[in-house]
Amino acid sequence: MDKASALRQYFGHSSFRPGQERLVDGILSGRDALGIMPTGGGKSLCYQVPALLLPGLTLVVSPLISLMKDQVAALTAAGVPAAFFNSSQTLEEYQEVFRGIRSRAYRLVYVAPERLENPRFAQLMAQQDVSLLAVDEAHCISQWGQDFRPSYLKIADFSANLCRRPIMAAFTATATARVQEDIVTQLALQRPVRVVTGFDRPNLFFDVQRPRHKLSALLSLIAQRPGKSGIVYCATRSAVERVWTALNEHGIPAARYHAGLPEEERRANQDDFQFDRRAVMVATNAFGMGIDKSNVSFVIHYNMPKNLEAYYQEAGRAGRDGEAADCILLYSPGDVTTARYLIDHSADGSELTQEAHHALRRMEQDRLAVMTDYCKTDRCLRGAILDHFGQDHADSCGNCGNCQGIFEEADITVPAQMILSCVKRVRDRLGYHVGASLVSQVLRGSKNRRVLELGLDQLPTYGLMRDTSQEQLRAYLDCLSSQGLVFTDPEHATLRLGPGAGGVLFRGERVTMTAKVRPAQVKPAKNAPEPVAAPAAPADSELLSALKAERARLARRDGVPAYIVFSNATLADMAAKAPDSLEALLQVSGVGEVKAARYGEEFLAVIAARC
């Protein structure tokens, strides 16, 4: 068998994607490999195809139990003998895998990194012919990445202790040069074939929204996507609880996931989501590294994440099947405060020296600033992301909120004068500068104790902007700051007048602000977080719906998630081609021989009944 027939026969794909073939060739020729591809880029195939062709076993190190389970289920469904080893197994299951390895029953075995340190496992492996050691989510080896796992550092030792050093191949979606170098050094890769593919995910639509009321905005976004599977990421556990409760109260079947829930419930909730029993998952970032649910059609961030790498990774869990999907970030300035708090109070790094700790924190603050810029920019959002990963791109992608949005320029001279004058008057009254939040409180006429104690309610600017919402006021402040009319003194975090402020205050200079007006956006009703009537989503064709129903039935019958039977992309291709024979069915992208044999007749019958 050669690589092309392995690809077709087992995975049902007619060609490799960019980058895959070079990695497969490199590995098959005996070289180490490093594959950097975006989420959904198809990294798994780069070691799964060689696993079918190399003489010995392929061992895959993978960080998460759910991921392993899923990959093994998918491989088994495709007819590739595979198994996994992890802490969730019973003794019998464990022994069965042990025996299977001894009798060479598997092509691939997935293991958690901790397992490599287990002496019995190491002993077993020392007696096997291991051809390839594939390290998935390899960025976990880097202290500079966000998912550092100390046990990844043991991989190189483990591989050196096998009876012969296997080919080593590492894969990740994290692009920074520093992490790449760390992977090469820590895994001791030897002259690896290196493939870095483009990071763009053209099927993802990116948008940042600044809703006045996040919960109603979220409810209407979900209501506009009936029956679609999606993830809502929140910054904290308490936000997950709040949002999850609200969604369920509004009749949206949602599951929740965060580190505060018992292991058992987490697993059950994840299954509910994977098996499409609940369409929406509300979670912290604890959910999802390596999640392989291919039919996620939207990822909404209820809060801004800590950095753009994390955002792109989380958002990238949408649309892995190649279908159009939405990545929407609901931004509010309070998110910056929360993120800063999370950075300052993060527990990890306790083994680091104080100096290293300090440096790490500063780096995280810098990354937060990049993330915040993304939320505020009016440039192409995809462009902003690709810039960050050092990739060239067109000026305008046409498929993001900023490229499609309509921008209006508003004259904000009057509110700008009010704000600048308030900054000046507070300073004159107290003899020192204060932070932006105190200035806002004065402008909005707050009865806050500090305002009253300092006598700021006596200022002529007190309460001048009573009717302006806090969000709006923040937006004005952001705008003034981006034009250099005010700036925040980094040392004391106080708000000061910038060089241009005098012109606005005393010489009548105008100030304008560009704001995005999105015609498609539904305005939430005041105070009432009721989802607005949803515009109809484009309906599936009758045939496609029937194929989906058949998929659901077979998935239930076999006890696997629906996308393990066939992905949405495969069903769409099937509906388009409407095959009338097994031969023709094998031409559908994603239909391999084993799946054709297992499910072919059922799907052909559905098609025959309708065409």
Residue 380: name its binding partner from Mg ion, Zn ion, ligand ADP, none (Cβ under 5 to 8 Å by kind): Zn ion
Identify how many contiguous H helices and E strands the chain contains and give both numbers.
Answer: 26, 17
- When binding is defined by CB under 5 A, the residue of 60, 343, 403, 547 that contacts Zn ion is 403
Interacting stretch for ligand ADP, rule CB under 6 A, among 42-50, 248-256, 350-358, 524-532?
Answer: 42-50
Minimal distance in Å, beta carbon 227 to ligand ADP? 20
Phi first, then psi, for residue 516 (nearest 5°) are -80, 125
Interacting stretch for Mg ion, rule CB under 5 A, among 41-49, 482-490, 538-546, 597-605?
Answer: 41-49
Residue 574: name its binding partner from Zn ion, Mg ion, ligand ADP, none (Cβ under 5 to 8 Å by kind): none
Which of 381, 438 has the CB closer to Zn ion?
A: 381
Minimal distance in Å, beta carbon 595 to ligand ADP? 12
Q: How many residues bind ligand ADP (CB under 6 A)?
A: 18
CA torsion through residues 520, 525, 528, 530, sign: negative
Q: What is the spatial distance between Cα 13 and Cα 306, in angstroms, rounded to a whole number?
A: 37
Minimal distance in Å, beta carbon 547 to ligand ADP? 17
Residue 397: name its binding partner from Mg ion, ligand ADP, Zn ion, none (Cβ under 5 to 8 Å by kind): Zn ion
CA torsion through residues 175, 177, 178, 180, sign: positive
- Beta strand 512-517 pairing with 406-411: antiparallel
Contact residues for 284 (Cβ-Cβ < 8 A; gap 6+): 233, 234, 235, 236, 237, 240, 257, 258, 259
- When binding is defined by CB under 6 A, the residue of 42, 288, 415, 531 that contacts ligand ADP is 42
Q: What is the spatial distance between Cα 340 and Cα 280, in angstroms, rounded to a whole number?
A: 28
DSSP letter at 7 equals I
SS3 of 209, please?
strand
Which residue's Cβ lies closest to ligand ADP?
42
Which of 173, 235 has the CB closer to ligand ADP?
A: 173
CB 203, CB 325: distance < 8 Å = yes
Minimal distance in Å, beta carbon 384 to ligand ADP? 22
- When binding is defined by CB under 6 A, the residue of 320, 382, 551, 595 that contacts ligand ADP is 320
- When binding is defined by CB under 6 A, the residue of 3, 19, 36, 44 that contacts ligand ADP is 44
DSSP letter at 362 equals H
Beta bridge partners of 60: 110, 134
Residue 403: name its binding partner from ligand ADP, Zn ion, Mg ion, none (Cβ under 5 to 8 Å by kind): Zn ion
Minimal distance in Å, beta carbon 16 to ligand ADP? 5
- Beta strand 229-233 pairing with 296-301: parallel
- Beta strand 193-196 pairing with 167-172: unpaired
Minimal distance in Å, beta carbon 313 to ligand ADP? 10
- When binding is defined by CB under 6 A, the residue of 70, 200, 207, 321 that contacts ligand ADP is 321
Binding mask 367-386 for Zn ion (x = CB under 5 A): -------------x-x----
Beta bridge partners of 325: 204
Beta bridge partners of 209: 330
Q: How many residues does this entry show for the chain?
A: 611
CB 26, CB 196: distance < 8 Å = no
Contact residues for 532 (Cβ-Cβ < 8 A; gap 6+): 220, 223, 522, 524, 525
- When binding is defined by CB under 5 A, the residue of 77, 397, 451, 555 that contacts Zn ion is 397
Site for ligand ADP in 108-127 (CB under 6 A): none
Which of 240, 400 has the CB closer to Zn ion?
A: 400
- When binding is defined by CB under 6 A, the residue of 32, 39, 141, 195 that contacts ligand ADP is 39
Which residue's Cβ lies closest to Mg ion?
43
Minimal distance in Å, beta carbon 584 to ligand ADP? 18
Beta bridge partners of 195: 35
**Radius of gyration over alpha carbons of the chain, in Å?**
27
The Cβ of residue 554 has, within 10 Å, a number of other Cβ atoms equal to 18
Chain position carrying tokens 């290293």: 356
Q: What is the spatial distance between Cα 402 and Cα 515, in angstroms, rounded to a whole number?
A: 10
Residue 200: name its binding partner from Mg ion, Zn ion, ligand ADP, none (Cβ under 5 to 8 Å by kind): none
DSSP characters for 307-356?
A: SHHHHHHHHTTS-TTSS-EEEEEE--THHHHHHHHHHHT----TTS-HHH
Interacting stretch for Zn ion, rule CB under 5 A, among 125-133, 390-398, 422-430, 545-553?
Answer: 390-398
Q: How many residues bind Mg ion (CB under 5 A)?
A: 1
Q: What is the spatial distance between Cα 611 and Cα 608, in angstroms, rounded to a whole number?
A: 5
Which of 22, 379 has the CB closer to Mg ion?
A: 22
Binding mask 265-304 for ligand ADP (x = CB under 6 A): ---------------------------x-x----------
Q: With binding defined as CB under 6 A, does residue 43 bind ligand ADP? A: yes
CB 108, CB 85: distance < 8 Å = no
Interacting stretch for ligand ADP, rule CB under 6 A, among 13-21, 303-311, 325-333, 513-521?
Answer: 13-21
Q: What is the spatial distance between Cα 186 and Cα 142, in angstroms, rounded to a whole number?
A: 8
- When binding is defined by CB under 6 A, the residue of 567, 591, 595, 604 that contacts ligand ADP is 567
- When binding is defined by CB under 6 A, the residue of 27, 32, 33, 40 that contacts ligand ADP is 40
- When binding is defined by CB under 6 A, the residue of 37, 51, 83, 400 that contacts ligand ADP is 37
Residues binding Zn ion (CB under 5 A): 380, 382, 397, 400, 403
Residues binding Mg ion (CB under 5 A): 43
Residues binding ligand ADP (CB under 6 A): 13, 16-17, 20, 37, 39-45, 292, 294, 320-321, 567, 589
